[in-house]
């Protein structure tokens, strides 16, 4: 029996769109392409609600420090063998405005990653994923959980928070002035 071919993050970036479903929901785990299960509709609702609130917040920031959010951008979190996770959203506060939009894999480290625990395979590996993001250099990970209707906030040097629907998501040290009720993150349109 032949062992599967181990590929690099660069190989993954080049072939991602030729994978089934045009690479949607695909990641690279220890050099092997993996297709995660398609999430439920609530996944898209959560991403849309967060993106809309973040877009409104970005508009209030000065052009020099505004930043931006990218959807489904690969993060090369481990090498040899390579692992590329693709969280729902990555938030950048530095660099050229929208500089990561055309990339399959980020060339810069986002400050915040939003990874929705919306399917069994995502939920099962969320501990590994969030640890890998932090080791990679991400300052904060938000994990909206549509089943519990809570958001875990994992921030470097702080205790992990589990925010319930009656609480408010606020990140004054990373997103000064941004607030959003947790309940509105899960609100179906």
Beta strands of 63-106 (E only): which ranges?
68-71, 75-78, 83-85, 89-92
Domain that holds residue 61: 40-67+87-185
Position 10 in a domain: no
Position 153 in a domain: yes
Position 158 in a domain: yes
Q: What is the pLDDT of residues 125-168, one digit of tens each?
A: 899 999 999 999 999 999 999 999 999 999 988 889 999 999 99
pLDDT band at residue 65 using 50, 70 and 90 as cut-offs: low
> What values do phi and psi take at 136, rounded to 5?
-65, -25
pTM, rounded to two decimals: 0.91
Do 111 and 92 form a contact (C-beta atoms < 8 A)?
yes
User: Looking at residue 1, what is its pLDDT?
Assistant: 47
Do 105 and 86 form a contact (C-beta atoms < 8 A)?
no
Position 77 in a domain: no
Q: Is the pLDDT of residue 3 over 90?
A: no
Position 19 in a domain: no
């Amino acid at each position: 029996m032949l062992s599967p071919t181990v590929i690099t993050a660069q190989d993954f970036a080049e072939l991602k769109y030729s994978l089934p479903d045009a690479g949607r929901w695909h990641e690279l785990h220890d050099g092997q392409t993996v297709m995660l299960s398609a999430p439920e509709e609530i996944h898209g609702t959560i991403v849309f609600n967060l993106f809309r609130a973040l877009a409104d917040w970005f508009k209030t920031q000065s052009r020099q420090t505004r930043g931006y959010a990218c959807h489904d951008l690969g993060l090369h979190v481990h090498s040899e063998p390579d692992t590329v996770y693709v969280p729902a959203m990555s938030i950048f506060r530095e660099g050229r405005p929208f500089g990561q939009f055309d990339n399959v894999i980020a060339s810069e480290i986002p400050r915040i990653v939003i990874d929705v625990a919306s399917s069994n395979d995502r939920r099962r590996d969320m501990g590994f994923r969030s640890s890998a993001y932090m080791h990679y250099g991400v300052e904060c990970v938000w994990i909206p959980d549509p089943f519990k209707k809570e958001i875990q906030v994992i921030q470097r040097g702080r205790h992990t928070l589990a925010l319930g629907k009656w609480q408010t998501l606020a990140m004054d040290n990373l997103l000064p002035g941004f607030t959003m009720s947790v309940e509105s993150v899960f609100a179906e349109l």
